[in-house]
């Protein structure tokens, strides 16, 4: 209990030495003493909202115009995609078949397209045709076969 009394005494002494009351600001006397600073503050207050408002309006205009340009570009691109005809594969005028590489014959895209068009039957026909055209392929090559093919 003695320690608490010492703390209260110390708090009272500190309040007496250090003025802990809330300071009061007298605006009228400050205006009189610092007339130049007061005028500078008033001029800033008048100029600030106009500058801030113009800057934000300019930024909004730029962003708005960019957004509008992007929307117009997207709409135009979509319209052109609908209007322009899609290119069909070119056929030769003499009726000859176009040369197709073996990789294109059995590519996943080619096989998927065959399956989508005719199901398993179309897929089997496509694979049979590829087997007929390309023939069976060995699953592995020996080093001698590779070297023999390179020499010739």
Structure tokens at 30: 């400050």
144 vs 152: CA distance, rounded Å: 13
**116-138 pLDDT per residue, tens:** 888 888 888 888 888 787 777 66
Give 110: exposed, middle or buried? Use CB within 10 Å, 0-12, 13-18, 19+: middle
**65-92 pLDDT per residue, tens:** 999 999 999 999 988 888 877 666 555 5
Those residues whose C-beta lies under 8 Å from the C-beta of residue 130, and which sit 6 or more positions away, are 102, 105, 106
Give 85: exposed, middle or buried? Use CB within 10 Å, 0-12, 13-18, 19+: exposed
Residue ranges of domains in the chain: 30-71, 103-134
Helices (H), 24-142: 27-33, 35-83, 102-105, 108-134
Query: pLDDT value at position 142?
Result: 73
């Amino acid at each position: 209990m003695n320690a608490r009394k010492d703390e209260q005494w110390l708090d009272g002494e500190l309040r007496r030495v250090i003025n802990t009351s809330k300071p009061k600001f007298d605006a009228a006397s400050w205006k009189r003493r610092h007339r130049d600073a007061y005028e500078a503050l008033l001029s800033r207050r008048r100029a600030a909202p106009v500058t801030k408002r113009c800057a934000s309006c300019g930024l909004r205009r730029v962003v708005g115009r960019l957004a509008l340009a992007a929307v117009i570009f997207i709409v135009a691109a979509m319209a052109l995609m609908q209007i322009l005809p899609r290119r069909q594969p070119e056929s030769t005028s003499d009726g000859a078949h176009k040369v197709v590489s073996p990789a294109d014959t059995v590519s996943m895209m080619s096989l998927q397209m065959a399956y989508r068009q005719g199901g398993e039957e179309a897929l089997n026909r496509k694979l049979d045709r590829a087997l007929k055209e390309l023939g069976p392929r060995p699953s592995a090559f020996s080093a001698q076969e590779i070297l023999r093919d390179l020499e010739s």
